[in-house]
Amino acid sequence: MNQTELKILLEKYISGNCSAEETVLLESWYLFRSKKDKLPLTDEQELELYKKLIWEGIQRKTEIKQELHHRNPVRLWYRILAAASVVLVLAFGSYYWFNANPKQPLSQNAAIKQDLLPGTDKAVLFLSNGKQISLDSAGSGIIAKEKNTLVQKNGVNILSYKESSSFANEGQVAYNTIRTPNGGQWPVIELPDGTKAFLDAASSISFPVSFKGERKVTITGQVYFQVVHNASKPFRVIVKGLTIEDIGTGFNVNAYDDEPVVKTTLVEGSVRVAQKAHQIVLTPGQQAVTVAGSDKLISRTANIEEVTAWKNGLFQFNHTSIDVVMRQIARWYNVEVVYQSDVSKVSFTGNLSRNLKASRLLEMLSITGLHFRIEDKKIIVRR
């Protein structure tokens, strides 16, 4: 493993994007490396951080440690070499793709003449009086007062609603809406009861600024919730005819207008999902799915990491059809996707950072055999 390959693996390891085989290869290299082998980093603090994280990762793998110290080392080395061989095959394939085909290099295959920046933290707050506040340009501190509730933004883009006893109750409850555009997200909205909502691109949430009455919010797009449970006052999410009621919960709702189904995925706790006369109670790892506009409601097992990857700065795909992949990319990069060929049978598996420029991301997607071109805020896709 040369220094460039090692640096790539280290960066993937720290960001949590290493495959199981790559992780075994890297950790075994660290355990058995020569003292002369140095990590390809210059900053001493970063170097120590990398070492610490790698060692902690190795310590967590108690089964491998036990094999290392108490079992046949030949068997362990066989496992390590088997994993390494997989990575080397992939590396050789990547080398061939990048270097042995000069007539059609990856960057040329992607045909990138322009570029698009990834999305950022941006959203608009709509107050009850019709006033609009751009949250990304608003300064830190109290940015609005709604009835007896203060709306405050801190330096890491957390927007919080705090009821203040210093204000008299001003009667009728006011409602606010927070909306993210294509190419935007908002990391944390702390609602009046302490419940947290995380908004993905092209999403919105509407809610009362005081939860003295019912705790009910309406959403569009994709929102992740960490709900403060209150058995006497259920927290309800209304979306496209569905009512999602928490029973002490962390859950994700995906309800984009351009997606064929609404998906409610439970991460922890319990939720009840109701659609007209039908209802399902989910347990962690389950997902409720309904076709928009229908009254059919089914449950299935979900990949939690894949569902919540957006919240952790990733696109994560597992044999995902390319049209679904491109819809996510279109929302995040605020771009239109135009297909010049039938791509219905093309799928993609892998993790991609949402911090990449579009050109780099499309280069990675080119491994599917598709060709991409950025042109006037459009991504052109063809075989």
Q: What is the CA radius of gyration of the chain?
A: 24
Lowest mean pLDDT among 101-105, 277-281, 344-348: 101-105
Taking 60 as the threshold, does the pLDDT of residue 142 lie above it?
Answer: yes
Rounded Cα distance, 290 and 278, in Å: 11
pLDDT band at 28; cut points 50, 70, 90: low
Q: Is 42 helix (H, G, I), strand (E, B) or coil?
A: coil
Helices and strands, number each (H, E), in the chain: 9, 22
Query: Do 120-307 and 108-116+313-382 fall under one CATH topology?
Result: no
Q: What is the pLDDT of residues 226-258, one digit of tens each?
A: 999 888 899 999 999 999 998 778 999 999 999
Write down the pLDDT at residue 291: 83
Taking 50 as the threshold, does the pLDDT of residue 77 lie above it?
Answer: no
Rounded Cα distance, 274 and 243, in Å: 5
Q: What is the pLDDT of residues 99-138, one digit of tens each?
A: 333 334 344 444 455 789 999 999 999 999 999 999 999 9
Residue 209 carries which DSSP code?
A: S
Taking 80 as the threshold, does the pLDDT of residue 34 lie above it?
Answer: no
Write down the pLDDT at residue 212: 84
Write down the pLDDT at residue 33: 56
Query: What percentage of the chain carries pLDDT values higher than 90?
Result: 58
For the record, the structure tokens of 225 come out as: 């919730």
Rounded Cα distance, 270 and 231, in Å: 12
Report the length, in residues, of the chain. Answer: 383
Q: Round the average pLDDT of the chain to a whole number and report it.
A: 81
Q: What is the pLDDT of residues 316-326, one digit of tens each?
A: 999 999 999 99
Domain at 108-116+313-382, CATH from 3.40.47.10, 3.40.30.10, 3.40.50.10490, 3.55.50.30: 3.55.50.30
Pair 1, 29: CB distance under 8 Å: yes
Taking 60 as the threshold, does the pLDDT of residue 91 lie above it?
Answer: no
Q: Is 17 helix (H, G, I), strand (E, B) or coil?
A: coil
For the record, the structure tokens of 256 come out as: 């984009």
Q: Which span out of 22-36, 59-73, 241-255 was modeled with the highest average pLDDT?
A: 241-255
Which residues have a Cβ under 8 Å from the Cβ of 230 and sit 6 or more positions away?
A: 193, 215
Taking CA atoms, 200 is separated from 155, 183, 205, 372, in Å, by 19, 9, 11, 25
Taking 80 as the threshold, does the pLDDT of residue 14 lie above it?
Answer: no
Mean pLDDT of 271-283: 92
pLDDT band at 68; cut points 50, 70, 90: very low
Write down the pLDDT at residue 190: 97
Residue 44 neighbours by CB distance under 10 Å = 8
CATH topology of domain 120-307: Jelly Rolls (2.60.120)
Q: Which residue has the tokens 């279109």?
A: 330
Write down the pLDDT at residue 70: 45
Instruction: Map out the domains of the chain as residue ranges.
Output: 3-100, 108-116+313-382, 120-307
pLDDT band at 348; cut points 50, 70, 90: very high
* Choice between 78 and 18, residue whose per-residue pLDDT is larger: 18
Write down the pLDDT at residue 295: 78
Write down the pLDDT at residue 57: 53
Mean pLDDT of 306-318: 95
Rounded Cα distance, 178 and 3, in Å: 46
Write down the pLDDT at residue 29: 63
